[in-house]
Chains A and B, each alone.
Chain A
């Protein structure tokens, strides 16, 4: 079982719709959760992070965390063509050795005109 799982997609949504990206993780000790956006050929860009159960909103983005279900999601409202990218879910399990990120393989999002 992979530590962080995402549907590879592509997930296609029309412009203006809500895009819902999902991620599950296997390690119950995971404590911090991150969403990165990566355009083709570029580096990951941090969008949001969440530590506590519930929702966290930032502009058009909402992150949702359910630790009991080991599930984290990202909602993108009013999707734009510029949102078309691969979205990476990452988790941190704090250890004495540091805060390494464990990534999923990403979900490709396509926002269509």
Chain B
């Protein structure tokens, strides 16, 4: 039973380039959450998505960041025109739609983004 999958695990970009981070939730999970962990800081919520819908994007920076979870394929977090301050670990988590485990979120291995 595969867990949450994220790729790439490490991503290096130069300032001004675009970063695309992918997340495939656990089998049977339809809720996806993105979190960011800056160096020496805690995990911060960014966005919550269900298939084809953004439910809560209250943690997303107003510019350059976007997320989607299409009907087919993984969820994607996109960062345009990256800056050095975007360097962080980006984690995806998923949870099931129903049942006793509804509120439990399971994390993927993360993508470590380094902006040069």
Contacts and interface: CB of A to CB of B under 8 A. Distances in A.
Interface of A: 32, 34, 36, 42-46, 49, 88, 90, 92, 95, 97-106
Contact of A97 (B44, B48, B106): B48
Q: Which 8 A-B pairs have the closest CB atoms?
A: A97-B56, A105-B42, A98-B48, A100-B45, A103-B43, A43-B107, A98-B56, A98-B55
12 contacts: A34-B104, A43-B107, A43-B109, A43-B110, A45-B107, A46-B105, A46-B107, A95-B56, A98-B48, A100-B45, A100-B56, A101-B33
Contact of B42 (A45, A99, A104): A104
Contact of A46 (B48, B106, B109): B106
B108 interface: yes
A98 B31 contact: yes
B32 to A, nearest CB: 10
Contacts of B33: 98, 100-101
B41 interface: yes
Interface of B is mostly: strand
Contacts of A32: 103
A32 B59 CA distance: 20
Contact of A99 (B43, B59, B95, B108): B95
A49 B44 CA distance: 19
A90 B45 CA distance: 11
B111 to A, nearest CB: 10
B91 interface: yes
Contact of B59 (A49, A100, A105): A100
B41 A105 contact: yes
Contacts of B35: 101, 103
A67 B62 CA distance: 34
A99 B103 contact: yes
Given A44-B43, A103-B42, A97 B107 contact: no
Nearest to B95: A99
A51 B95 CA distance: 17
